[in-house]
Amino acid sequence: MIKKQLIKKINTALVNIGINNCEVNLDHPANNKFGDYTTNVSLRYAGKLKKNPLQLAYEIAKKLGHDDLIEKVEVVKPGFINFFLNKEYLINQIQKIVTGKINYPTYYLGTTKKVMVEFAHPNTHKIFHIGHLRNISTGESIVRILEATGNKVIRTNYQGDVGLHIAKCLYKITNHKSQITNLNTLKEKIEFIGKMYMEGSQAYETDAKAKEEILEINRQIYEKDPEIANLWIETRQWSLDYFNGIYKRVYTYFDRFYFESEMAKRGTTIVKELLEKGLLEKSENAIIFNGKKYGLDTRVFINSLGFPTYEGKELALAEKEFGDFGEIDKCLHVVTPEQKSFFKVTFKVEELLDEKKYKNKQYHLVYEWVKLKSGKMASRLGNIIAGEWVLDEVKKKILKTFKCDQTTAEIIAIAAVKYSFLKNSLNSIIAFDFDESISVEGNSAPYLLYTYVRTQSILKKISFDISMIRNIKQIPNLTVEDDYLLLRMVHQYPEIVYNAASNMAPNIIANYLFNLAQQFNLFYEKCPILKADENTKNFRLLLTKAVSQVIKNGLYLLGMKTVEKM
């Protein structure tokens, strides 16, 4: 990566001046007129040498020397050093992108380069809501970005298929069993269990007798009592079929599905072993972890009824995840922020259980909520937004706005919804906006797809062929600023992907693509492509093809597809 080469050159220059072991920050300047990279290293170390920062900047610049990578080094007040990359080098890199030889810098989360990303996490007998869409969009993008930067990634999905929420739903279903025979489609079945869950939740909170019966059903589910097992299995499968349809729709698959029901028995055994070792303790007929001495919360691992809690089952899950695929370097759990305490405690208990296997290998990747105007979604209150409904509504708006075919509308809809989440940082709370998601004038997927279609239209007009990029006889005189800015912006793409991986931040790619699309559309308006002289035309076609390739590749890393017309 050229950034590392420049940092090495700067460090060598600093050593020659007499400054050793320096930490050099090298960034892209906010304003492109200040070069491809800039460093404030002279400002940081001028005091140490008792020198004026501007004077020190000039000394460092002088020691850098000349090579084929740097065209120009500029020093600006109060002591910044700006680097302009050689145009021949830039064009060479763009040609590699165009020919599909994108060399992403590697970013490894460990020595074996094996990472598990656990995401999606819908609970059976509940609706897959808009929050799950954000989760799955985030997880899928993180997987693809980590794969691009050299990691072997294992996709897992931990789904809640036991617990009080199931019991609430089955309680109501047992009172409406006759309705099951009238449910002919999967959609009808999902709507039915959604309604039953909501009514069961209300009964649990308002009717003492119903609450008692629901608790009994909960016990029967855990103990796999034949009286409830068949109904549980049948309705559970409805949910799993429903989820699988959504996974396919949003281009996601998993290497392994884990279920809470698999973890209860083993989780109970592990908790009791930890109790015997003194790592957990008894409290009011429950088994707890007293986190005070570790600066953590106290949490329950087996409740007073003898059932393992989420914490207890998490220990069994960790054992499976770190055993089913051999040694892994890191397990990322894509989960909302209210589980911070949960993960801090379970990670600590797992570390105490087996330090070599677990220490520093678990990571809670936090993403924020998608909020309704009335507050956080809660399916028990009946104010959730179903994920499929969101996709369907966006698709309807796209069909009406773009007048495209069903297949194209589906691709745009998936991209529009995913991009609305991914353009934001993970710690941003999102209020989903339908009109904003399908706009072709703002920071949206349709705008990026529109730009991609524009590049394809240009290239098709002249039947673009890769051989044309080899016909650039000499570097054009890049006096038109838009040519040069676009060239330099395209060059940044592999580094952008590296930054997205190292920061676990898909929004870095999303917002780069938006800025690139804006710059290309400005270039398109100001710079004649097909009417330019032969050499300039070939150069501008190279830029157009490169932008096309980067948008397509970047959208892929965000979990989206491109379209050929809109």
Does pLDDT of 50 surpass 90? no
* 373 pLDDT tier (thresholds 50, 70, 90): low
Greater confidence, 87 or 466? 87
Does pLDDT of 521 surpass 90? yes
CA 63, 65, 70, 73 torsion-angle sign: positive
The pLDDT of residue 461 is 87
| Mean pLDDT in residue range 508-533 | 94
The pLDDT of residue 379 is 62
| Mean pLDDT in residue range 151-174 | 96
Q: Domains in the chain, start-ordered, CATH in brackets?
A: 2-85 (3.30.1360.70), 86-111+386-566 (1.10.730.10), 119-380 (3.40.50.620)
Does pLDDT of 123 surpass 90? yes
- The answer to whether 369 and 398 have CB atoms below 8 angstroms apart is no
Give residue-wise pLDDT tens across range 430-476.
999 999 999 998 999 999 999 999 999 999 988 777 666 665 655 66
* 266 pLDDT tier (thresholds 50, 70, 90): very high
pTM of the predicted model, to two decimals? 0.94
Does pLDDT of 338 surpass 90? yes
Give residue-wise pLDDT tens across range 276-295.
999 999 999 999 999 999 99
The pLDDT of residue 534 is 81
Rounded to whole angstroms, how far apart are CA atoms 234 and 169?
A: 13
Greater confidence, 101 or 312? 312
* 112 pLDDT tier (thresholds 50, 70, 90): very high
Which among 49, 1, 148 has a CA at the least distance from the CA of 492? 1
Structure tokens at 351: 């570390």
- % the chain with pLDDT above 70: 95
Which among 166, 152, 110, 158 has a CA at the least distance from the CA of 135? 158
DSSP 348-370: HHHHHH-HHHHTT-EEEEE---B
* 66 pLDDT tier (thresholds 50, 70, 90): confident
The pLDDT of residue 476 is 61
Kindly report the average pLDDT of the chain as a whole number.
Answer: 92
Burial 313-338 (b: 16+ CB within 10 A, else e): bbbbbbbbbbeeeeebbbbbbbbbee
The pLDDT of residue 31 is 84
Structure tokens at 280: 């957990």
Rounded to whole angstroms, how far apart are CA atoms 58 and 70?
A: 16
CB burial class (10 A; 0-12, 13-18, 19+) of residue 389?
middle
The pLDDT of residue 65 is 74
Does pLDDT of 359 surpass 60? yes
* Span of 53-57, 204-208, 244-248, 446-450 with lowest mean pLDDT: 53-57
The pLDDT of residue 380 is 60
* 378 pLDDT tier (thresholds 50, 70, 90): low
